[in-house]
Structure 1
Amino acid sequence: MINDQFIKHHKMRQRYWGRSIIGWREFSMSSPNEGHNALSKLEKLGKIGVMFEDSSEYYKTDCEDSELDWTFSAGYQKHTIITQNVDGLHRKAGNNGKHVTELHGKHDRIVCMTCGTYRCRLDFHNELDELNASWLKDQLSDISDSREKSEQLRPDGDAFIRREDYDDIVIPSCSECGNGKSSENGFYKPDVVFFGDTVPKHRVNRCYGAVDASDGLLCIGSSLAVHSAYRFVQRAAAKKIPIAILNVGETRAEVNGLDLLKIEAPAGPTLSRLVEAFE
């Protein structure tokens, strides 16, 4: 979804939420894989993560204290994982959510684009399903079996809809500042970075702080093609911080000739072996 299309056009929001009615619940039930579970164990073993001095640059400037994921109470913070994924699987695997930066946001919550209020996406979808029960029933009647439904699903919670008719989709508006039905004011957006949007500056700064304080950066299962992640590898290289890459296939860092250690192997089994060695 293009960010400007979602923000500016009610019909595009109807399309997005209509397709999400079909696809998001399946996406939200995804389970951590071997790699996620291994990283959770490595954090508990104290083998990954870095402590560094806290800073106001690592926080949104317009949020209430109750909304902060981090606190200044100790004067420092811990950081373990930077992930490009929005599926929350590191948290599901048992990593401390306060030690994980989900660079592109969290797919399991939504945010009002007028007042900034957060809402649990599951609760929102329960209401969305109820308001659009008839439309949903009609769509599901087009799906003949579970295999066909599986083929419709997209990896980000989107779904292919055979009948592209979203005019009757009713979208709940913000319970704090909206009017309870579809409107141009108080509408929700998934708390993720859409195409054409940018990663919030405070989130990037927090990751830079963690990289600067680290004695090594391990990149796992990523081609690093997207700048939002590659910039942290560039930062480590500029700071002469050792870089290791665990990935099947060439990465942007190798193409650009950065000094690094490359491990050409699948992430899950390799990280599990690492856990076994430390245990």
Structure 2
Amino acid sequence: MLPETPATTPTTDDVLHLLRGKRLTALTGAGISTDSGIPDYRGPDSPPRNPMTYQQFVGDEAFRRHYWARNHVGWQRVHRTHPNGGHKALVRLEERGILEGIITQNVDLLHEDAGSRNVIDLHGRYDRVICLSCARVVSREHLADRLTELNPHFLESIGDLEDVETAPDADAVIESTAHFVPAACEFCGGMLKPEIVYFGENVPRERVERAYAMVDAADALLVAGSSLTVMSGLRFVKHAVKTDKPVVIVNRGATRGDPLATIKLEAGVSETLEELADRL
């Protein structure tokens, strides 16, 4: 049986005591990237968001046009962000053999940019685009060039991009998108979609199985910066508990996994991971 969560407020020392000598798998969410300037979806200070669903994207041309216009703006910001201390701390843990690997719900590739090697991008990655008809994959950078050609002066019309609020999937908050021209697949004319998992879309089964195997290969699960609101992440917490592995959750604000956690640490993600990397 897993130990009960202490009645007193847990500290980083409690986490260190629990995890020392164990091999870890990390499950990360948007909260680990906030210190890189990418807003969280559900953090305590985050504005309300209604991410586009898969059904809206494939079923409505107006939704797709609106999405690609906002994404074209958001791409300009997100692809210039850099890993923070939390990402780099996980690299240090991996290099020392403490961290088995990372399952991330993020699509920002900051773990890879930091130098992490064993990363499962659970919800895909924002730097690739797939055609839903012919399944060809192109880089988002290549698509950015095409969208700029189709929409000259669109970015300039937005103003200072640094002032535009941008979500973790590079969805920028802009309103005037009616005249934006999306790009079709240059190979078959089909519908292009970012190679990320939308709300209402299933994570590929092979990817899920690899993530379960990563949890099984470790002695404990460390959740960093995820509210665990969606089942795609929560299932790995449930799996760890079912297999008698301790679960540590580091997050500001309540998470759906709190009742399952061995320790829930209400703290900043970057500073906590840096301390763990220094002291484990």
Does the pair score TM above 0.5?
yes
Q: CA deviation at 1:4?
A: 1.4
Matches for 1:51-130 after TM superposition, within 5 Å: 80-96=101-117, 99-130=118-149
Whole-Å separation in 2 of the counterparts to 1:35 and 1:232: 21
1:44-66 alpha-carbon deviations (Å, 9 max, x no partner):
121100xxxxxxxxxxxxxxxxx
Instruction: Label 1:170 to 1:107 Cα distance change in 2 as closer, same or farther (>3 A).
Output: closer
Alpha-carbon deviation of 1:26? 0.7
Match status 1:160 vs 2:170: no
Q: 1:263 aligns to what?
A: 265
- 1:79-103 deviation line (CA, Å, top 9, x unaligned): x00111111110111111xx21111
Aligned partner letter, 1:175: E
Q: What SS does structure 2 have at the residue aligned with 1:26?
A: helix
List aligned pairs for 1:160-199, cutoff 5 A.
Answer: 160-166=173-179, 169-171=181-183, 173-178=184-189, 186-199=190-203
1:114 CA drift (Å) = 1.0
* Larger relative contact order, structure 1 or 2 (CA cutoff 8 Å, min sep 6): 2
Provide the rounded CA distance (Å) in 2 between the counterparts of 1:264 and 1:162. 35
Would the aligned equivalents of 2:65 and 2:177 in 1 still touch at CA under 8 Å? no
| CA distance in 1: counterparts of 2:249 and 2:182, whole angstroms | 46
1:141-156 equivalence runs, <5 A: 141=157, 143=159, 146=160, 149-155=161-167, 156=169
**What SS does structure 2 have at the residue aligned with 1:122?**
helix
Which of 12, 21, 32 aligns to 2:83? It is 32
Is there any run of 5+ residues in structure 1 with no aligned partner, and where? Answer: 50-79, 179-185
TM-score (norm 1): 0.75
Pick aligned residue for 1:43 from 94, 98, 106:
94
SS at match of 1:276: helix
Q: 1:270 to 1:192 in 2, by over 3 A?
A: same
Residue in 2 that maps onto 1:229: 233
Structure 1 residue ranges, 4+ long, deviating more than 3 angstroms after superposition: none
State how far apart, in whole Å, the 2-side matches of 1:163 and 1:220 are: 36
- Contact 2:164–2:173 under 8 Å retained in 1: yes
Who is 2:208 aligned against?
A: 204
DSSP 3-state at the match of 2:248 = strand
Distance 1:142 1:86, change over 3 A: closer
Whether 2:244 is the aligned partner of 1:240: answer yes
Q: Compare CA radii of gyration and give the structure with the larger one.
A: 1
Q: What is the TM-score when the length of structure 2 is the normalising length? A: 0.75
The CA deviation at 1:277 is 2.8
Give the partner amino acid of 1:187.
M
Q: Shift in Å at residue 111 of structure 1?
A: 0.7
Instruction: Give the structure 2 partner of residue 15 of structure 1.
Output: 66
Distance in 1 between residues matched to 2:261 and 2:277, nearest whole Å: 26
* One-letter amino acid of the counterpart of residue 269, structure 2: A
Distance 1:202 1:264, change over 3 A: same
Distance (whole Å) between structure 2 residues aligned to residue 249 and residue 142 of structure 1: 33
For residues 249 and 16 of structure 1, what CA distance do their matches in structure 2 show? 29
- 3-state SS of paired residue (1:189): strand
Partner AA of 2:59 in structure 1: K
Structure 2 partner of 1:73: none
What is the percent sequence identity of the aligned residues? Answer: 40
Residue in 2 that maps onto 1:75: none
